[in-house]
Amino acid sequence: MNSQYGEMKVSPLIVSLMLVIIGMVWVTGVFYETEKTHDLILLKESDSFELKSEFLGEGIGYYKMYMPEFSGETIFVQILDTKNNIIQEEKIQTKLSVGYFDFNDDGTHILKITNISNNSINLETEFGDTNSQNMLLPGIMILVGSVIMMITLYFKIKNYRIEQPEENIS
């Protein structure tokens, strides 16, 4: 079918870019739909704080710690499963820290934070499920788009070098 405007060719580079952008937006949407708990607390010296979140099935959970007025303080973080077994523990000595852990049973998991510094700490926390199972399809989309983009750019650069050889100056 011929139209008066001719045929429109779709560049592989545009297709790959669209795949990557759509995949990234999709991953962001999946992540922001997850169940998570937020809290802002002031932890005094040697105080502890617990944050609870419900997890379903198996997956990857995460926690994010942010100390806005960080000046070398240290906190101790533990993740406890539904039976109060320690899944993971870590000392945090940075302004922002994100940690991931595997969970494999339904129920309430606990994020336990202890201030092991000599000063009080303002702390912003986030604790929840990454919902990683639902990120597989958009992740594949991003991967395919990236591979197509790299191959397309490789051939464009290769063809450019062939079309524009360096001149030998004698």
Task: Give me the residue spans of the domains in the chain.
Answer: 15-34+131-146, 36-130
Residue 91 in tokens:
């000392």
Q: What is the pLDDT of residues 60-99, one digit of tens each?
A: 999 999 999 888 899 999 999 999 999 999 999 999 999 9
Query: Which three-class secondary structure state does DSSP give residue 95?
Result: coil
Indicate the DSSP class of residue 153: H
Compute the CA torsion angle 18, 19, 23, 26 (nearest 10 deg): 60
Q: How far apart are CA 96 and CA 70, in angstroms?
A: 9
> What pLDDT does 99 receive?
94
Over range 103-120, report the average pLDDT.
91
Please check whether residue 126 is in contact with residue 36, taking contact to mean a CB–CB distance below 8 angstroms.
Answer: yes
122, β-bridge pairs: 42
Q: In CATH terms, is domain 36-130 a member of 2.60.40.2300?
A: no
